[in-house]
Chain A
Amino acid sequence: MVFLTVIAYVLGEFMAVAIPRRGAVGRFLNPCPFNLKEHAAITLMASAASQSALATEALASQDLFYGGYPSKVAGVFVVITSQLIGYGLAGLLRDVLVYPTHMLWPMNLPVTSLLESLHKDKTEAKARLKIFYIIFFTMLVWELFPEVSTSYTYLS
């Protein structure tokens, strides 16, 4: 999710700079600088798709390692039903887990503070951004290099 946030920031800033602002078309495509609310909306939309359903992995391992996966319609329905059971439980528990103000979800705090430090005044968020960029590039090397190398090892 942090990856999605960072990529959205880069692409959004690029679109805010590259698209012209004049005329009716420009006012439609580029009405204002890239702001926090747009960024949060993009992150929400994309992160809804970033986590695939776990039933997919069960089907995948059955297909690849054990053989005899169900028919395609059954596979689709298995994924949909398991997801809908989860949605139903979440809807039932909304009054208890979401609405009370003392229900804190600390998982959301990193992305929120990242969004704010990217969009606040640069002078205010300077220390935060410095730490963020140091850890960002370190993690980029740490994650991307083994990922790419192992993928090529498996495919070769």
Chain B
Amino acid sequence: MTSHIFCGPADFKRRIISKWPEAYIQARYFTLFVVPVLSQIFVSTMSIKRPSYDGADTDTGIPLHSVSPVNSSRDGSKPQIIDDSTKHGFANAEPESIPPPYEDEEGRKASVAVNTAEDLVTRVIDVEDDPTLNVWTFRMWFLGRSRQTALYSGSWDLLGSSAGASPILKNATLTILHRYRPIDLWRRPARDLLFQAADNLRLCGVLDRYRVCSR
């Protein structure tokens, strides 16, 4: 039997398999099937029995249970059906309490004075909805997921981020985003362009010139 040098999680796994294969298989089944089911039960129980905030809303004077968007999970009751009288976006708020907008002689609408946060939100945000228009379209998934992936991969980070960070910190962030890809955990790929660019930064001595690091 050769001497064994412990060098990392893969080696640890290999040693466990060679010593107790059936235990490893059981652990594998446990993580694959038992843990997701148990965690699902745990999370759903927590969401049902979660204690709620008992304060009253200062704008409408209504207890917060009735305005909560998660009525379905509170007390195990079914979701409330919101009728047309609540189309201003606030359940159980009287529509009469929101004054109608003024109209001048040409029919243009001018808003009344905005005093509270509720006024502001109902004036600025359009609360009408057209239920015939679909949200879950191919377009939404394609654009949303592709741009999300592009941003996660970091190649669009220069364009997407605000102008607050300095360019050198952006380069550093890009470098680290490409260095910490999950594939690097078990296989070291060829260095990509941005990685090389960061190395060129060091080799050219740009960092030394700007006194941000010393080699």
Contacts and interface: CB of A to CB of B under 8 A. Distances in A.
Contacts of B116: 102
Given A29-B138, A99-B64, A45 B145 contact: yes
B147 A100 contact: no
A120 to B, nearest CB: 7
B143 A12 contact: yes
A57 B158 CA distance: 14
A134 interface: no
Given A45-B148, A56-B176, A65-B212, A31 B134 contact: yes
Interface string A93-108: 0011001111010000
B90 interface: yes
Interface in B141-181: 142-145, 147-149, 151-152, 154, 157-161, 163, 165, 167-169, 171-173, 175-177, 179-180
B133 to A, nearest CB: 4
Instruction: Report whether over half of chain B's contact residues are helix, strand or loop; otherwise say mixed.
Output: helix
Interface stretch (B18-26, B30-38, B200-208): B200-208
Nearest to B50: A95
B124 A64 contact: no
Nearest to A102: B59
Interface in B106-154: 116-118, 120-121, 124-126, 130, 132-135, 137-140, 142-145, 147-149, 151-152, 154
Instruction: Report whether over half of chain A's contact residues are helix, strand or loop; otherwise say mixed.
Output: helix
A66 B215 CA distance: 10
B175 A41 contact: no
A28 interface: yes
B23 to A, nearest CB: 23
B6 interface: no
For chain A, the bracket of interface size reads: 35 or more
A4 B118 contact: no
Contacts of B168: 154
Contact of B180 (A57, A72, A95): A72
A3 B177 contact: no
A96 B157 CA distance: 33
17 contacts: A4-B160, A8-B147, A12-B139, A15-B139, A15-B142, A45-B147, A48-B148, A50-B160, A52-B157, A56-B177, A59-B180, A76-B180, A99-B53, A101-B57, A101-B117, A112-B124, A155-B200
Interface of B: 9, 52-53, 55, 57-60, 64, 67-69, 90, 116-118, 120-121, 124-126, 130, 132-135, 137-140, 142-145, 147-149, 151-152, 154, 157-161, 163, 165, 167-169, 171-173, 175-177, 179-180, 182, 184-185, 197-198, 200-201, 206-207, 212-213
Interface of A: 3-4, 7-8, 11-12, 15-16, 28-32, 34-35, 37-38, 41-42, 44-46, 48-52, 56-57, 59-61, 63-66, 72-73, 75-76, 79, 95-96, 99-102, 104, 109, 112-113, 116, 120, 143, 147, 150-151, 154-155
